[in-house]
Amino acid sequence: MKKRYPGIVMLFCHLSFTLSVHSQSSPDASAMQALRANLGNPINLEWSDPDPCNLNLVHCLNNHRVDKININSKNLTGSLHPELKNLSELTILEVSTNQLIGPIPSLAGLSLLQQLDFSHNNFSCIPPDFFTGLMSLQSIRLDYNQFSSWEIPESLKDASNLENFLATGANISGTILDFFRADKFPGLIHLHFGYE
């Protein structure tokens, strides 16, 4: 009996060692778990590993922080979890051509974000503070969503590196051109919006 005891202790040590390696391996694990939990069809993603850095279509930096998520055209339902904004090193988020519903969550403060694609989904709205602090944003696609009528929020002025703003079929109202003529967007190359 006594001889077996150390073996059990060793097993426990091994387990706790494995768990602590996991939680250290990516500080983004819980936010990615929340994202997965709110997507209705995650079987299409084959996301089963608890370490987000091992997931298909997810890219991490050397520091094990998630920097890119590209889950376009995966027939995903459900919604995007509000704690996506915990992924503070995210640079690219693409969720185009799925059937996602509900509000696009605020990503305010994600200062490294460069590229966003929410196009061809069923999102219902975008929050007014969405663009607050998105100073690296170069490209955003919002085209073809079932938005209720909205105006471009003042917070877009933070995105002074914007090159592409695509929002055809996105139900924008208000004085769009006046907004973009304000000389706030020196790099703007593509501005598409309309009512198709």
Ligand X SMILES: *[C@@H]1O[C@H](CO)[C@@H](O)[C@H](O)[C@H]1NC(C)=O
Contact positions vs ligand X (CB under 6 A): 30-31, 34, 41, 75, 77, 83, 86, 99, 101, 122, 146, 148-149, 171
Q: Which is nearer to ligand X, 41 or 56 (CB)?
A: 41
Q: Which is nearer to ligand X, 5 or 195 (CB)?
A: 195
- CA dist., res. 13 & res. 20, Å (int): 11
Output the smallest distance, CB 10 to ligand X, in A: 32
Output the smallest distance, CB 189 to ligand X, in A: 27
Q: Which residue is nearest to ligand X (CB)?
A: 148
Q: Which is nearer to ligand X, 99 or 160 (CB)?
A: 99
Q: What is the number of alpha carbons within 13 Å of residue 40 lying toward its C-beta? A: 10
Sequence-ordered list of residues with C-beta below 8 angstroms from that of 5, at least 6 positions apart, any chain:
none
**Could you identify the residue written with the tokens 């090193």?**
89
Helix (H, G, I), strand (E, B) or coil at 115: strand
Output the smallest distance, CB 146 to ligand X, in A: 5
Output the smallest distance, CB 138 to ligand X, in A: 25
Q: What is the number of alpha carbons within 13 Å of residue 143 lying toward its C-beta? A: 13
